[in-house]
Amino acid sequence: MWGALEPATRTFLASGEAVFRTRRDDPAFDFSGPAVEYAKAVETELNALLFPALRKVYAGKAEAERSVFLDGRTLDLGQRVPPQSLGAMLVLLEKKPVIEKGVRRAFSTAESGWIPGELPHALRRIVEIRNPAAHGKKTSKDEASARRAEILGIGQEGVVVRMGRVGGGQ
């Protein structure tokens, strides 16, 4: 699965893992760095998965059909969309019908249900730890471990693994 992931995703995962594993026995260590690295891996992979697929669906469609308004700007889904934050993608997946419609057209039945259905719940948990970690709040080992397990797939199917599998099947 490693080879199916974006190079930047692999870099963020490797960096987060290196720090996490080196410091996991240090009870005073702030795990914000690894938490942010894991979140960036998800963000990078989701950008690479979602927007190229939507571009294929919406290319050539009328502007009204392929545009979505987000944070005071219009994104043209029929063109290259600049990388979006996890929070922005969460809003898109949860609140923008044009995204769900495009996902349902772009992906298999199973994945088109998972992306707008289950993925936003995982993204919310990741954002809840990532944003405070990126802005100075100390992140405990337990908090980072829980997101690490969910993202990498420790004892469960990992978010990044699922996205890699979906993207590899495109």
What's the pLDDT tens digit per position in 42-62?
Answer: 999 999 999 999 999 999 999
Is the Cα torsion angle 151, 157, 163, 168 positive or negative in sign?
positive
| DSSP-assigned letter for residue 83 | P
In this model, does residue 102 exceed pLDDT 70? yes
Quote the pLDDT of residue 168.
Answer: 66
Quote the pLDDT of residue 135.
Answer: 93
**Average of pLDDT values for 75-103?**
96
d(Cα 147, Cα 154) in Å, to the nearest integer? 10
- Full-model pTM: 0.94
Quote the pLDDT of residue 27.
Answer: 87
Q: Which of 99, 126, 95, 115 is nearest to 170 (CA)?
A: 115
**Average of pLDDT values for 93-107?**
95
Quote the pLDDT of residue 83.
Answer: 97
d(Cα 94, Cα 130) in Å, to the nearest integer? 19
In this model, does residue 130 exceed pLDDT 60? yes
The proportion of the chain whose per-residue pLDDT surpasses 70, expressed as a percent, equals: 98
Cα dihedral 51, 52, 57, 63, rounded to 10, equals 60
> 3-class SS at 76?
strand
For residue 48, how many other CB atoms are within 10 A of its CB? Answer: 19
**Average of pLDDT values for 63-76?**
95
**Average of pLDDT values for 105-133?**
91
Quote the pLDDT of residue 170.
Answer: 46
Quote the pLDDT of residue 166.
Answer: 85
Mean pLDDT in the chain? 93
**Average of pLDDT values for 153-167?**
90
d(Cα 132, Cα 23) in Å, to the nearest integer? 20
| DSSP-assigned letter for residue 61 | S
